[in-house]
Chain A
Amino acid sequence: MSIPETIPIIGASWDDVLFVLFAVVMLGSALLVVTLRDIIRSGLAMIVCFAALAGLYVLLGSPILAATQVLVYIGAISVLVLFAIMLTQTKAGPARLVFQTQWWAAAIAAIAVVVVVIGVVASTDWGAEATRLQSVTGDVARLLFSDYTLPFEAVSVLLLAAVIGGIFLAKREDRRDEAPR
């Protein structure tokens, strides 16, 4: 028995329903990330948010991006963030949400930007670009090693610079600081 083209009763297509589902989960968990008081739970909510985004990538027809999202963001970055939190966490955190004094101005600005962005995106005909995005892994690879060789290589230099900087900041003081502090 095959799955029907559209969802019975409601009549909406599977894509649309899944999109709404993923979008709601993503936005909901993103809100949790910034509003939860326990920073570990925030980190876990962030993983849910990343997973929902990976789902959106699959819907958009880019499995390679979805796989990267899962591997890099969930597998590496989130876990690293959680480790960093657990290793450095102090017990003394504020029990309630702390808002900046200008939170209402920020809220108004954020809502205004969201409205404008929605209006602009909805009113624009993205046309050919939307279909062109249906990329397969081979195409991405071919682009990486033809048109985008230089940025691809430059990113590795960027990572190297970041690693050297990270080591400098994290390493223990050496010989020069033998004088008692």
Chain B
Amino acid sequence: MTWSDVTLIAPLVAALLVAFAIIVVDAIAPHRDRIAVAVGLAGLAIVAVLTVWTDQAPGLAFGGAYTVDTLTTYLDLIFIAIVALTVLVGPDYLGPRDLPVAEFAATLVFAMTGAMLIAGSADLLVLFVGLELMVLPGYLLAGYAKRDALSTEGAIKYFLLGSFSSAIFLFGLAYVWGLTGTTRIAGVADAIAAAQGLSPALAMGVAFVTTGVAFKIAAVPFHYWTPDAYQGSPTPVTGYLSVGPKVGAFALIIRVFVEALGPINADWLPVMGVLAVLTMTLGNLVAVTQTNVKRMLAYSSIAHTGYILVGLTAYAADPNSGGLEAVLFYLAAYSFMNLGAFAVVSALQKRPGVTSQLDTFAGLGRREPYLGILMTLFLLSLTGIPPTAGFFAKALIILSAVQAGGWVPILAVITVLNAVAAAFYYLRVVVYMYMRDPQIEPAEVDHGPLLRLGVAVAAVATVILGVLPGPLIDAATKAASSLFRG
């Protein structure tokens, strides 16, 4: 271990220390939620600064097991933003339900460390450990409301299927390792390129890896755990689960499929294409029939996975199509708008007992005008209407699919059709907020300052990315270009 190793993993070490700090502070001053949140946010800010600082001197650490490149930095910053927003939104929901905030924040930071490890992994073993470190806290968070049967049920389903899919993924990695004799991602790519073509054993390995990953991103037909886990979890956790592990799993896909399995991208291209079509179509069709907003957003997040897979397919068909840039932009835009939408749902559910049924939203536009407007903004963005982040995200994905050539432009058409269908269920919530009167006038809810800040940050990000997408597109392009090896 050299000094440069230490400086390159500084953000990871700092993230760990933040988790420790939150726990220690909570042990010294138990249940002072504000202090725990303050320590967490300050720590996350330091981690963000360190992440940007390490980006000044990119390189490989630990003998090529960990890499810091523009992609690592880009993804790390998204993870930090996701966790920071969740920590802001969480206490308002957890507090009235007597759920501790400090453990919540510390667990999130642990998960973030895992996600950052995935983003920077240059070794399949590091990647797998990072994956486990990211998802394990997720299981805990899904069952965070210990006395709520739905939460426990969702957590157990998530845990069982998650562990199962991790095992399948690892089994696939074992095949890849057995054939190539190395766990270093660059070495795997070289060995696969040298072997020229897909041997049966490699095909089997890729099949298992794909299955495992498809579970993690909740691609159809591997999505069955999603609605139950999302609906059962405490709402801020649902918001986190719908973006954090998903962005992390896509980071993993980029490292495994784009880098390690890059030489055989023509072979996994059709699989991704089929997954993309199934995922967005089924996600949208089922979302239309939902009357529970949390469940509806769960299916909508499945549909968004499909859109992102379209970008990945476009990249596999033609690396110059801009597919990877589109995926990276989409991940950032999706994180903010989806977290924002869940933050509003969570704000409405501040009082224990309030459900996430559509009826809860009736008359919201009149009752809480600000929250109503912001929810409308997030939903418009999720639909993909300009000038919001969601518009450019979808536009980039569709453009890349058109440019990819071959049969991939068909995916662009299907994406557009799906986006139109999705407008129906997103806008239905808006209709409820502005055109329906609640059957029983709900009691007034006083929202905490942290929650207001969280929703505001998500809203500002959604608008800025929609009005001035240039800087983020540049960053995504730079991040994508750091992947291509000569």
Contact = CB atoms under 8 A, between A and B. Distances in A.
A and B together in one complex: yes
Interface of A: 116-117, 119-121, 123-124, 126, 128-129, 132, 146-151, 154-155, 157-158, 160-162, 164-165, 168-169, 174-177
Contacts of B125: 148, 151
Interface stretch (B59-67, B240-248, B348-356, B447-455): B59-67
Nearest to A155: B129
B379 interface: no
Most buried by B among A154, A165, A176: A154
Most buried by B among A146, A147, A174: A147
A141 B181 CA distance: 18
A21 B132 CA distance: 35
Contacts of B178: 126, 129
A123 B114 CA distance: 37
Contacts of B31: 175-176
A10 B441 CA distance: 86
Interface residues of B, number: 43
Contact of B65 (A126, A129, A149, A165): A149
B23 interface: yes
Contact of B146 (A146, A160, A169): A169
Contact of A150 (B30, B100, B110, B123): B123
A116 B175 CA distance: 14
B143 A157 contact: no
Interface string B100-116: 10010011001101100
A157 B181 contact: no
Contacts of B117: 154
Contact of B62 (A116, A126, A150): A150
B107 A120 contact: no
Looking at chain B's contact residues, the main secondary structure is: helix
Contacts of A160: 110
Contacts of B179: 124, 126, 129
A168 B123 CA distance: 32
B107 A164 contact: yes
A115 B67 CA distance: 39
B204 A116 contact: yes
B170 interface: no
B200 A165 contact: no
Interface in B123-140: 123, 125-126, 128-130, 132-133, 136-137, 139-140
Contacts of B9: 150
B1 interface: yes
5 contacts: A121-B201, A124-B179, A164-B106, A165-B140, A168-B103
Contacts of B62: 149-150
A69 B23 CA distance: 34
Interface in B34-69: 61-63, 65-66
A165 B181 contact: no
B16 interface: yes
B444 interface: no
A153 to B, nearest CB: 9
A61 to B, nearest CB: 16
A166 to B, nearest CB: 8
Contacts of A124: 179, 199-201
A147 B133 contact: no
B98 interface: yes
A157 B16 contact: yes
A175 B29 CA distance: 13
A164 B109 CA distance: 12
Contact of B133 (A123, A132, A157): A157
Contacts of A174: 30
The 4 closest A-B pairs by CB, nearest first: A165-B140, A124-B201, A161-B110, A150-B62
Contacts of A161: 107, 110-111, 114, 133, 136-137
Given A124-B201, A151-B129, A154-B130, A169 B140 contact: yes
A154 B61 CA distance: 14
Nearest to A178: B98
Contacts of B139: 165
